[in-house]
Amino acid sequence: MSNVFTLDALREETKRKFAPVVIGLSDGSEVKLSSILKLPKASRELVSTTIEQLDDLQPEEDDPASIELLSEALSKVFNVIADKPAKLLKELDDEDPMVKLHMMGEVIDRWIGATQLGEASNSPA
């Protein structure tokens, strides 16, 4: 068994780690969500802290204030990580606040999975 790897394979793996998550919108355009590793330190800390706080909150369907609080927190994250946050937030908007919140959460979950958020705090600035 050999421990040989190629620099080309390492380069591709590294590029994937730093690549943005691309979201296709209904009008055919795209929004890019930056890798947490590409954000400035202050932005990484803001995003990480906000997401950690979100983990402790559960929306109550009969409590519009809790839904609004979670939506605002997720909007704050999108404003930091998205290259076109207003366009993304407009696309995520829905007349049903729970649908909007669920869609926002799904996008964030996919972004977290793709960017390996847990590793970001140890990354160099």
- Mean of pLDDT values over 57-63: 76
Confidence category of residue 55, pLDDT binned at 50, 70, 90: confident
How far is Cα of residue 6 from the mean position of the Cα atoms in its chain?
31
Domain ranges of the chain: 9-117
Output the pLDDT for position 89. Answer: 98
Instruction: Give the mean pLDDT of 52-67.
Output: 82
**Tokens read off for 38:** 């590409």
Q: Which two tokens stand for residue 122?
A: 């140890």
- pLDDT tens, 27-40? 999 999 999 989 99
CA nearest to 22, candidates 35, 10, 12: 35
Residues 6 or more apart whose CB falls under 8 angstroms from that of 12 comprise none
Nearest Cα neighbor of 50 from 115, 112, 122, 125 is 112
**Tens-digit pLDDT profile for residues 73-104:** 999 999 999 999 999 999 999 999 999 999 99
